[in-house]
Amino acid sequence: MAAFRGASASASKRPNKPEFEDARVVVPFEDNRLLTQLLGEYDSHLALIEDRLGIDAHAHGNVVILTGPATSCANARSVLERLYSRIAKGETIGPGDIDGLIRHARAEGTATSEGQAQVATRRRVVKARTPTQSTYIRAIDKHDLVFGLGPAGTGKTYIAVAFAAQCLERGLVERIILSRPAVEAGERLGFLPGDMRDKVDPYLRPLYDALYDVLPPEKVERDIETGVIEVAPLAFMRGRTLANAFVILDEAQNTTSMQMKMFLTRIGEGSKMVVTGDPSQIDLPPGTKSGLVEAVDLLDEVDDISIVKFLAGDIVRRDLVAKIVDAYDRPKDIQPK
């Protein structure tokens, strides 16, 4: 079991408030077999909770003893109990699940099931790992048009694809349409070799990857063949009315103003649209205004439209990615002349 770590050196510097006063919390668990899974190999899960919440924790028999600031111990208890509940239901937990519940605990005070939204498809249950992801899932559920803005790795596209799959499986929509602008990193389709599919597939591959992750491969292939799922460049949307469909526009920062207006006005009866992009990663020619940036400015206060903004702290791929994004976003003390 994890060795008991002494109180941190910073303990004496904590403000003299109840939430910062040291507490000792004993968390009992009925099933030692499930407790072993909860703690993780070599108590790695418990060590992660200690590190993230700044507490000391050790297991003794069928209990986990937490020592540290009262609020942090309360959050740790909530996280442990939620994880134990998942394991009891037969779910497998990992560092990502732990991080997700910890982020919710920090933001909302407790890691309750009500605080953590999720999307369920036939192949997997996608649980929000950050409070912003929960906000995003609820926004997609409630609104017909949602913008998801933020850096790569925040889950904005993956969650949208999972939600689309959920709606299709429940019969809430008849089709899924996934699209991206076909201009990225300065390359235009007309100058690339091969037929149209050869040209567009590399740009659309991340959307295919997300589909195959949330739906059985045979269903994805069958639905693509029958047109139930369509993955196509943005140019293919012109002149169409997209009714009874779940429509996702990814990498929308690379749309022009005209392209964005064309896309948004395609929405038909019974449809949902999710537009995702990173305004800091625009690959349009110099002097061309991003349609995504313009749309967010124009539609900010329109009813039934939700704009959800992810930050570097919402990146769930791994801590290193968040640190890289944060370093690039940090204001420079010395500006180039």
CA dihedral (101, 52, 310, 325) positive or negative: negative
In a domain, 337, yes or no: no
Domain with residue 217: its CATH number is 3.40.50.300
Task: Let me know whether 155 and 90 are in one domain.
Answer: no
In a domain, 334, yes or no: no
Domain-terminating residue out of 71, 89, 116: 116
Q: CA neighbours within 13 Å on the CB side: how many for 201?
A: 6
Domain count, the chain: 2
Task: Let me know whether 80 and 133 are in one domain.
Answer: no
- Position 87: which residue type? I
In a domain, 87, yes or no: yes
In angstroms, the CA 187 to CA 59 distance is 56
Low-confidence ranges of the chain (pLDDT < 50): 1-20, 109-113, 184-187, 191-192, 334-337
Q: Give the pLDDT score at 325.
A: 65
Domain-terminating residue out of 84, 116, 148: 116
Task: Let me know whether 218 and 235 are in one domain.
Answer: yes
Q: Are 115 and 134 in contact (CB under 8 A)?
A: yes
Task: Let me know whether 104 and 213 are in one domain.
Answer: no
In a domain, 230, yes or no: yes
Task: Let me know whether 163 and 89 are in one domain.
Answer: no
Task: Let me know whether 21 and 153 are in one domain.
Answer: no
In degrees to the nearest 10, what's the CA dihedral of 296, 298, 303, 304? -40
Q: What is the pTM of this model?
A: 0.65
Domain-terminating residue out of 91, 116, 141: 116
Print the SS3 string covering 83-112: HHHHHHCCCCCCHHHHHHHHHHHHHHCCCC
Task: Let me know whether 108 and 167 are in one domain.
Answer: no
> How many other CB atoms are found less than 10 A from the CB of residue 323?
12
Task: Let me know whether 179 and 261 are in one domain.
Answer: yes
List Cα–Cα distances, 297 to 116, 292, 300, 307, in angstroms.
29, 9, 6, 10
Task: Let me know whether 184 and 203 are in one domain.
Answer: yes
Task: Let me know whether 158 and 221 are in one domain.
Answer: yes
Residue of 150, 153, 212, 131 lying closest to 178 (CA atoms):
212
What the block records as the tokens of 99 is: 């991080």
CA angle, 134 then 140 then 208, to 5°: 95
Q: Give the pLDDT score at 228.
A: 94
List Cα–Cα distances, 165 to 121, 144, 191, in angstroms.
6, 16, 34
Q: Give the pLDDT score at 313.
A: 80
**Which stretches of the chain are DSSP H helices?**
32-39, 44-53, 70-88, 95-108, 131-142, 156-169, 196-214, 217-226, 257-264, 291-299, 319-329
Q: Which residue has the tokens 């169409």?
A: 240
Domain range for 251 is 119-329
In angstroms, the CA 273 to CA 147 distance is 9
- Position 184: which residue type? E
In a domain, 335, yes or no: no
Task: Let me know whether 126 and 88 are in one domain.
Answer: no
Domain with residue 24: its CATH number is 3.30.1370.10
Task: Let me know whether 201 and 79 are in one domain.
Answer: no
In a domain, 4, yes or no: no
What the block records as the tokens of 141 is: 């559920």
